[in-house]
Amino acid sequence: MPPAPARRRPAPKAPPPRWYRTERGRRWAVAGLLLALYCATPFIEVGGHPLLGFDRQTLRLYVGGVGLWLDDLFIVLLAALLAVALILLVTVWLGRVWCGWACPQTVLLDLRDQLRALFPVRTADGRAVRLAKRVAVEGAFLLLNLVVATTFILYLVPPRELGHYLATATLPFWVGATWGTIVLLFYGDLLLLGRRFCTHVCPYAKLQGVLFDRATLVVEYDRTREDDCIDCKRCVKVCPTKIDIRDGLQVECIACGECVDACDEIMRKVGTPPKLIQFHFGSTSAPPPRVLRPQVVVLAAACVCLTAALVHAAIGRAAVEASVLRDRYHLFHVAKDGRLMNSYTLVAENRTAEPVALTCWVEGVEGLELVIPHNPVTVKPGAVRKTRFVLVLPAGHPLAPGNHPVTLHLMTAEAEPITADAATAFTVPEAEEHKVEEHGKEE
């Protein structure tokens, strides 16, 4: 009798990788870090000011503890342009990594999926048990949305102030209305739209398809190894947008990597090398692409230039800003003794964390005297102080009629003084106007 054929032994199963070697593990690590930063930032202060927040009373945006005023909006504009350039660069280089790894929509929906996994609904469960599990999942998810919305409010209302409102039941209407609106938007979007927002509504998802090139990082099915696929459809079952990655790159793919982990798990079980589905720059069937291609170089250069401009603008911000406003209703006044007076208002803004005492003097017209109630002028940290003052020119001055430029100088008394200048003009009236006003008074 011929010898019996040797029995084929199954390939040994490879041990499962550690969590940080899976795409899901890396993705959850990134999501956890981003959530921690989002929730912790409102409680962090730098120099008594929030690390990031908006002061609705003074209309200042705080970034890194530094208050930005309305005239500093060019810094915010530069930061916004830098953010846009970074998004474009990351998209061209790393594809939809934002959508699958950092987008709040994806992170919160992944958390809801985890809640559902903790309370799975099985066919053997009775109606009451199924209802209880669904209520538990939706209740926990609603609580999570309340936490997210409350954290958003803390960027507008400091934690101590919000705690006082809640403890004393004096929550302002606008705070409550904003709070409720955010909860409804977050929960309604995640409950009603869910992943459909990513595939049908999100404008960034549509833009990414235009920015992709042949070297962008994508999730790809390796067609050179089609014989290794056992058609288990595990990659389709775990896909949050329910696409088949074997059909090629699709606009619905958010590059979350769930199909990569699922396929690797099946490959380990059947003893086949992993990475039948993988993250790959360009196509697995094409030569390795160039990293420094024109799109990347141009966007990287734009990011560098915008970063340099932003740093220069932030460092070059004056510690004290000063401006002078003319008194429009009493532009000038001639006293009985012939002295000529112009009225002004000094607006001094202290952008430092310490009070400043500003000594003031005026230059530009010989013999011009500064009359101000307090000199030096003290301005509290982060505050704006308005002070009225008068410039007085003695009688018999030789100045011609018209506006004569003058400069108001301000300086502190420290070893390294803080200085500021404010330009204005001193008005000398025409000869027919140069007379004593009947209702004028001596200074």
pLDDT of residue 443: 44
Q: Where does residue 255 rank: exposed (0-12), middle (13-18), buried (19+ CB within 10 A)?
A: buried
| Region of poorest pLDDT, from 272-276, 288-292, 368-372, 377-381 | 288-292
Q: Which two tokens stand for residue 392?
A: 């007085």
- DSSP per-residue string spanning 108-135: HHHHHHHHHHHS---TTS-HHHHHHHHH
Long-range contact pairs involving 236-243 (C-beta distance under 8 Å, separation at least 24):
237/262, 238/262, 240/106, 240/109, 240/113, 240/195, 241/195, 241/198, 241/199
Q: What is the pLDDT at residue 439?
A: 42
Q: Which residues contact 280 (CB under 8 A, 6 or more apart)?
A: 217, 218, 219, 220
Structure confidence at residue 201 as a pLDDT band (50, 70, 90): confident
pLDDT score for 343: 92
> Is pLDDT above 80 for 213?
yes
Pick 253 or 330 by higher pLDDT. Answer: 253
Query: Given CA atoms 213, 215, 220, 223 in this order, what sign does their dihedral have?
Result: positive
Give pTM, 2 decimals. 0.72
Alpha helices (runs of H) in 192-257, residue ranges in sequence order = 196, 203-211, 234-238
**Side chain identity at 438, as an amino acid letter?**
E
For the chain, the average pLDDT equals: 85
What are the pLDDT digits (tens) for 358-394?
999 999 998 899 999 999 999 988 788 999 999 999 9
Identify which has the larger pLDDT, 257 or 335.
Answer: 257
Query: What is the pLDDT at residue 8?
Result: 47
SS3 395: coil
DSSP 317-381: --SEEEEEEE-SS-S-EE-TTS-EEEEEEEEEEE-SSS-EEEEEEEESSTT-EEE-SSSSEEE-T
The pLDDT of residue 369: 92
Confidence (pLDDT) at 332: 80
- Domain 320-433, architecture per CATH: Sandwich (2.60)
Q: Among residues of the chain, what percentage have pLDDT more than 90? A: 31
- List the one residue out of 215, 391, 250, 418 whose CA is nearest residue 322: 418
Report the C-alpha gap between 240 and 242 in whole angstroms.
Answer: 6
Which residues lie below 8 Å from residue 30, measured CB to CB, with a gap of 6+?
Answer: 101, 102
Burial environment of residue 351 by CB neighbours within 10 A (0 to 12, 13 to 18, 19 or more): buried
User: Alpha helix locations (H) across 155-240?
Assistant: 159-168, 173-188, 196, 203-211, 234-238
Domain ranges of the chain: 19-298, 320-433
pLDDT at 113: 86
Residue 161 has pLDDT above 70, yes or no: yes
**Cα–Cα distance, 180 to 158 (Å, whole number):** 18
Order of all β-strands in the sheet with 60-63: 52-55, 60-63, 66-68
- Is a pLDDT exceeding 70 seen at residue 351? yes
Q: At what angle do helices 104-118 and 127-154 cross, to 10 degrees?
A: 150
User: What per-residue confidence (pLDDT) applies to 431?
Assistant: 63
Give the model confidence (pLDDT) of 309-350 as tens digits. 988 887 777 889 899 999 877 778 888 888 899 999 999 988
Evaluate whether 375 touches 354 at the Cβ level (below 8 Å): no
Cα atoms in the 13 Å half-sphere on the side-chain side of 365? 26
- Whole-angstrom Cα distance, residue 66 to residue 351? 8
pLDDT value at position 76?
A: 82
Q: List CB contacts of 390: < 8 A, sequence separation 6 or more.
A: 341, 342, 343, 344, 370, 371, 372, 443
Question: Which whole number is the average pLDDT over 25-45?
Answer: 91
β-pair partners for 356: 379
Compute φ and ψ for 321, nearest 5 degrees.
-110, 140
**152: pLDDT strictly greater than 80:** yes
| Rounded distance between C-alpha atoms, residue 358 and residue 343, angstroms | 20
377-412 per-residue burial string, b: 16 or more CB within 10 A, e: under 16: bebeebeebebebbbbbeeeeeeeeeeeebebbbbb
User: What whole-number distance in Å separates Cα of residue 82 and Cα of residue 76?
Assistant: 10
Q: By mean pLDDT, which of 6-10, 17-21, 198-202, 310-314 is the weakest? A: 6-10
Q: Which amino acid is at 252?
A: E
Q: In whole angstroms, what is the distance from residue 207 CA to residue 202 CA?
A: 9
